[in-house]
Structure 1
Amino acid sequence: MVERPVTYALGLYWMLNDMLTDVALRIKNKLEVDIGKVDDAITICFEYRQARNFSLYLGYSSYSTFSRDNKNPQTDSSDHKSKELWVRILLKPDITYNMSLIDIAGCLGETVEVKLNGRDVGTKSFSTYVDLYLKPRAFHFVNIPRITMKISDDMEICVTLSNGHFQQVSFVNLVNTSHGGDNVDVVSNAIAKHLFKTIKEKDENSTLNSDENENQNLNLDKDENPNLDLDEDENPNKDSDVVKNHLWIFFNVKFRNPVFNLPAKDTFDHPCHNRAFTKTFELSKDFLKEVVDSSIFNILKRRFGMNEEEENLQVENLTDAYFAGREHSKDCTLIFVEGNSAESLATTGLGILGRDSFGVFRLQGILLNVRENSKDNKIIDNIMTSMGVQKNKIYEGEDYADSLRYGKVMIMTDQDDDGFHIKGLLINLFHCFCPSLLKIEGFLAEFITPCIKVTKEHDQKYFYSTKSHEEWKKTRDNNASDWSTKHHKGLGTFSPEEEGKDFFRNLENHRKYFVWDDRADEAIDLAFNKKRVDDRKGWLNNYNRMELKREWEEQRSNQVNDEDEENDEDEETHTNYTDFF
């Protein structure tokens, strides 16, 4: 499951969603949907669980009315045995609409077999449904903790951690309440209050006492947190909202006669919190205890600065990852940025990736060639301290990062000459003090950004070289002028809230790893060794800037962010040190 903006026909979505949820509540053990196999129509076929008096009336002009009896000429049960009670619904909307049955399959669980175009959708339970959201974050986040429990026959819940902004995915009677409602508020507030109380009891010195975190809830989205408009005395959840920001709740419940906002049905708005309501959404003490005993609570303690054996590292210009220097240091990445624009973009990235396994170090001042400067340099000392690197130590094997605070590095600079120089100086720093790290696969990467962006209405494409952009224009049959073109000269030309968030949501398209090769030692030494002036002169005399630029752009052309193209993985995600220099 990938989060990204999409455009769809809202009215058609409501119609199809109403139809599918109504059907899913009535089925016995099988639901099949075919899209586009016959005249671009959507065909829904299911086995009904009762034997009589079934009719499904769809009150929209693009629907037809179907019933189970043989009097309706549009009913077709010929594909199934006569002993079974099957209903076939054929919908042909004005446009082909690819819709997903994954939500329904996840909520119905193992009791119902759900197929799309003849294939099992692969979601067998609510737990496997949650996996779809959490697995894409696996390389961003270390060992994503979660607690999943079936509270009763009517309610399933999963609790995990967000990146500092409250998130929820909830269903009431198979209806996706994307904006939450009373169901989400009651459950999430109960969990947050319990965690808040436990944290306060265990450590009075946590940052939950600080003014910063006491007011943190004021920065939340008011659409997701309606209580923000209340006075302090009227908002009993004010303190626990700080903890709630760090929770992600998945919620599947069955409720008799639910009340939704209309027509969207994206909010559960029950008018009366009566005994039946309270009983349905009540969490057991065992569940709350399991949450507190899990790694969710341990990570929250780190986020709120609770006293631990190892104090948090204080280094100038370092925004430290929560896991840095701890159990999962190997999976932590330190992002080196140069300049305010890069720092702004990286800070936006932390809002997407979270601070559990990502930190940011801002390079302030002049980064020197460490081979030529034997004097103490504050920037270099801070880099070594932030990384936990020991000079001249040999790092190798799977446990190479046991003594490091960060097991990975990503360099984020402008894609111009100055940016390349900074990358080279950082590579030179590691090569001089701990060359074995550069030989570790996946240790060092660069963050690459496009140089050209084209847009047309809601469509957009990125290009990483002028050559790839020119080749794309040749394929447009003279309509490339219909697309608006913007050239980007540096990180400061990107909007952190727009392109920045998009870049970090698709980090693997922008993170390119350096790979060690046999000539890397020679290439780095030739570029930075003070004693090799004559060799360097000969190297530069043979330097053809335009030829090398063309070669480099050919490599970058494989980075076009086009979902319709499948590029070679090695060319797309790796470059060796020799080619870089």
Structure 2
Amino acid sequence: MPAKVKSDKASKAAADKVIADSYQHLSDLEHVLVRPDTYIGSSALVEDNIFIADIDSETPHIVKKKIEYVPELIKIFDEIILNAYDQTVRDGTGCTSIRVDIDQATGTISITNNGQGIPVIKKENMNCYIPEMLFGNLRTSSNYDDANSKKRITGGRNGLGGTLAVIFSKSFTLETIDKERKKHYAQSWTDNMSTKTEPVIKTVRSKAPFTKIIFVPDLARFKLESLSDDHVMLMKKRLIDIGFATHSHAKTYYDGNLISIKRANDYMKLYDHPENEKFIVDDTNERWTVGVVLSNNGFQHASFVNGIHTILGGTHVDHEVNQITKLIGDKIKSKIKNIAIKPSDIKNKIFVFIRAIIENPVFDSQAKETLKIRKLLNVRNATRSKVANNDEIKNIVRIVGLKYELTYEQDADMKSLRYGGIISLTDSDLDGYHISGLILNFIHHFWPALIARGFLSFCITPIVKVTSGSKLLEYYTLQDMKHGFSSDVLHYNPVDIANYIKLMLMEKTPERNILPWYKGFTGEIVQVAQNRFTAYARWTFDSKKRILHITDLSINVSADSYKIFCEDLLNGKDSPLDKVLCNNTDTIVHFKLVFKKNEFETWLKMDREDLADKLRLKLAKKKVLSTSNMYLFGANGRIKKYSDVYEIIDEYYHVRLELYGARHEAIIEQLRYEMMILSNKTKFITMIKASKIDQRKMSEALLLAALEKNFEADPRASGTGLSRYEYLVSMSYRSFTDENATRMKTLVKKKEKKLKLIEATTAQQMWINDIDTIMDMLH
């Protein structure tokens, strides 16, 4: 065989091997470690402003603070503590305490509950005991019995949590006493569950039951060197949450100290809130507790479903907030008439606490941060038993009188139904369409003849209606609404705009140096790129006293948030500050940052940009002021994108100048009209007094002839005949005096003088005069 042929085959074989090697098969354990985000969220260190527990305080206190933490690490802790919570709500477990101990030095976490323990029974088909099955294998749980309509009110659902904690630990030890079988069980896993010990099982007689987990998270896998204070504060916060979620059924202990939460009020008071503010709590329903208090910082919520902290809220939060805002809104409107208040106005002023126990809840992911809406079962992908035992399906079948053995092709079958049809009334959003589709899928799958008969119909309502006069536009989908545009137009100083336009009116070329402007802002706005600006706070140094005076903050930075930042900086590690003084009022900002002696010179000589970045004295890079999204209605009434403020001014200038021209002509026309009316009335008075016209003795025809001969008809009058001279014939006899005639002649002269002045003034000068008047008022 020629060498070249051999070489080609070898090359092809090598290429095939490279392709083959690129395809991999991973075991469950390997997949979890390679793709952890698929199971329990991000393994990256994130910075977030969230609620944590103050670990330095003897009395528990929950504060909102910017911390750095790994969500995945918190999640595996959460999974174990949720297992303990589940013991407090399961019938007959007798769990009355949950204890958490954390050794920061070694990174060891211990979680113990005194429930009845895990059943120490051998699972024959897996050749292991139930404790090992639950913690040493993925997708194992007692929460899978959906087919038998089992009502689950625990936090666990997918059979992943406990095992994921084992996988992400250097060592993991499980110890439990099964009260019913009087068995003590102990087993350990190490090195991310790659090795395990054989279970040690002993018979016990008098010892109280418990389940204890001791584990050391694999911090290196989370790119951490130690268990930081931030992580411990979050873990303690979750233990406090569990104390609230158990509804006082169980006591919680942190490092041996009792966390006393007997009522919802006890938990709510741990958060910052306005002094002397009243807490409103409804805990009459053991499965649903709601508390409300005035919020210091916009809308906030602390919500829990079956012990799970639903950080992002969900349908349970929306349900309560909608009711609360409506109730408060109705109360306000009954007290204050004609007040315009929206639900969002009320929502932004409240802090809502919710503790819910919900049967078989559904969440958006294993992270369980959002409670989802339960939807109708997709019957095409479900087993017969699952369909038969699904509550929603059973209710529809029972209410309508549907029978699986009938096809409803015959009219006789239709007579057995309790109703003449089904109408689906759902929201016109994506969830609503999905629900309607599932209903259609259900009916079509079992009884397609009903669809052909028109038995199922849908009430489709628009998401938004837009009216303009008699015109009506209806939007039925989110896609329809997306045809509109978002718009962000920066604020500008009206004085700058007015001066710019005034130069244009004077036919001069104005400089294009207009910067964004915000009323009351005394800092500096600087252009950093084309159509991009940043805003600097206002500050000065006092070298003698080592003080940095900050007398204004950057745009969109509140004094309260900056105070928190300064306090965090002051209390942080290696802080350059000696103290922070806050002399703010309702209208004035004044922070005094007092630097340490050995730090002041460094900060005094620091580059402006570095100083502004470090002390948050300018807008963050991602929050620059930009003119890249300025959409407005243009001169032709259509939405148009404008590149900068000058393009807006230029287009406005021509439209407005044209209107000033029309206004100029309208003023001239009005003055001429008024002069004509006054002159004719003066003449009419003179002729009446000279008896040249006497309405009382003249026929209507003669009077009309006399008026047409001597006076001008009212050009604005409608109709014919005498109606065109109504302004004369309707004059009262009391006005037919010499004094009134003289007064009218004087008015005519004044208007004539004004007319000449207006005729000598251009539309441009009229606009300039108006600008000058406004400027005088502003100054």
Higher relative contact order (CA 8 A, sep 6+): 1
Per the normalisation by structure 1, the TM-score is 0.43
Per the normalisation by structure 2, the TM-score is: 0.33
The structure number with the bigger radius of gyration is 2
